Amino acid sequence: MLSYNGRFDVVKLLLDAGAKESELNWTDVMQEVAFGTTASLKQKIEETGDLETADFLSRTPFLIAALLGDIEKARLLLKLGANREAVGFGGRNATQYAVQTNQIPMLTWLLEEGFSIEATDNHLNTPLILAAELGLTDCVKFLLERGADISKGNHIPYRAIRVAKNLDIVDLLVKCGEDINDISSQMHANLLGIKHNASPVVPKDDYLNGRYREFGTGNAIKTNKPFWLAMIRSGASAWRANEMFHDEGSHDGNIIWCYQRFGRTTTILPDGRIIEIGGEHEDFYDPDFCIYNDVCVFEKNGNINIYSYSAEIFPPTDFHTATLVDEDIYIIGRLGYPETRVAGFTPVYKLDTKSLQISRFDTTGDKPGFISHHKAKLKDGKILVSGGKQIILSDGKEDYIDNTENFQLCLKTGVWSVA
């Protein structure tokens, strides 16, 4: 593991203490790359002519030099004929080895030498994805400044935003145009200052009094039930709460309220508040499957407020987009429950970020239809909608197809058009 991570200083200590050198499967040239001088390396290459023998991690001397960040030795190896296209274990290339140990000067040199900033390993990880996954903030910043493509995904496919290991990296990527809604569950919890998949800290009486999902009785009704707030702060699943309180009886069709959701939206306001809308818990086959229509506001001081709405004012909404425009958030599309879907219709709502009230925003024109899982971006007074899925009727039956066109909604006129 020490050798894998490039900690050859510790490797040297272990070797000097009697560790078996054979386990490294290193050649004399590799020894000089790791522990020698540029002059001794040159001499050893002239003696052996060995430039490409790989170690137990399939690393050549050149790749080890990249991992170490030793530009002079890497330059010498290339000058003497080392293969610049060499890859190690997992198809990792020179730029990725430099990223692995946060060697920004080495990265700078490699890019100047013509190495690709988008080179991928066997799992399609780019240097940017690897740096984000390793939590190397300075390296991510460097790669973004050099034009690394934030839209590239690996084999899963996860982009850098999805694997980012800290909020500083998330912030860098969002400032470059990434979507905050694509961060991991752990980063989402860190952003909100809550836990992820912990147990709710709440008395059983509060659980029994507030365990079920309820619709609001009006527009933006503050509903700060202790159990609901505890579920938010813990990031617990409905199942965990149910098990915790040994609540094994019949719920008569009621659903345990839960904030462990997907398909919700997260919007960060200029005043520091974070507003989250809707989302769903689990899938249809789960007893606690639920699509929510609430709004949760996370204050800068750590307070959380939950606002409820009647289904008539704002229906259960998931896999929508939420676009901040001045003091309003425009909520476009949803998947929703099957009985609420209307092929060809595009639901649009407007959330006032001051009053938290939601109103329908009526539109006309060439609409994207009943769309979900899409992306939305504000530009020149219009919201651009792309990607996602559409619900259509085919021979009288509902079908779920890819959206292949780009649409724009003029906020001044409420008219949709094909972009």
What's the pLDDT at 21?
74
What are the structural domains, with CATH classification, of the chain?
8-192 (1.25.40.20), 204-364 (no CATH)
Q: For tokens 């505890």, name the residue.
A: 230
Alpha helices (H) along 147-275:
160-163, 167-175, 185-192, 204-210, 226-234, 238-244
What's the pLDDT at 5?
78
Rounded to whole angstroms, how far apart are CA atoms 210 and 215? 12
Among residues 375, 379, 402, the alpha carbon closest in space to that of 179 is found at: 375
What's the pLDDT at 373?
98
Q: Are strands 415-418 and 382-386 parallel, antiparallel or unpaired?
A: unpaired
Among residues 24, 32, 11, the alpha carbon closest in space to that of 76 is found at: 32
Among residues 163, 180, 378, 166, the alpha carbon closest in space to that of 274 is found at: 180
CA within 13 Å, CB half, 94: 28
What's the pLDDT at 410?
99
What's the pLDDT at 24?
78
Among residues 372, 408, 376, the alpha carbon closest in space to that of 392 is found at: 372
Q: Is 61 left (phi over 0), alpha (psi -120 to 50) or beta?
A: alpha
State the pTM of this model.
Answer: 0.94
Rounded to whole angstroms, how far apart are CA atoms 332 and 411? 12
C-alpha distance from residue 50 to each of 23, 29, 72, 232, 269 (Å): 19, 7, 18, 60, 59
H/E run at residue 401: strand 397-402
Per DSSP, the three-state class of 409 is strand
CA within 13 Å, CB half, 254: 17
Query: At a CB cut-off of 8 Å and minimum separation 6, what does 77 contact?
Result: 33, 41, 45, 51, 61, 62, 65
Taking only the tens place, the pLDDT of each residue in 99-152 is 999 999 999 999 999 999 999 999 999 999 999 999 999 999 999 999 999 999
User: Is the C-alpha dihedral spanning 93, 97, 103, 106 positive or negative?
Assistant: negative
Q: State CA 167 to chain mean position distance.
A: 11
Per run of 10 residues, the mean pLDDT along the chain (length 419 residues) is 75 73 85 96 97 96 98 98 98 98 98 98 98 99 99 98 99 98 98 98 97 98 98 97 86 92 98 99 92 99 98 99 99 97 97 99 98 98 98 90 98 98
Rounded to whole angstroms, how far apart are CA atoms 273 and 351? 14
What's the pLDDT at 1?
65
Q: Read out DSSP for 227-245?
A: HHHHHHHHT--HHHHHHHT
| Residues paired with residue 295 on neighbouring β-strands, in sequence order | 277, 307
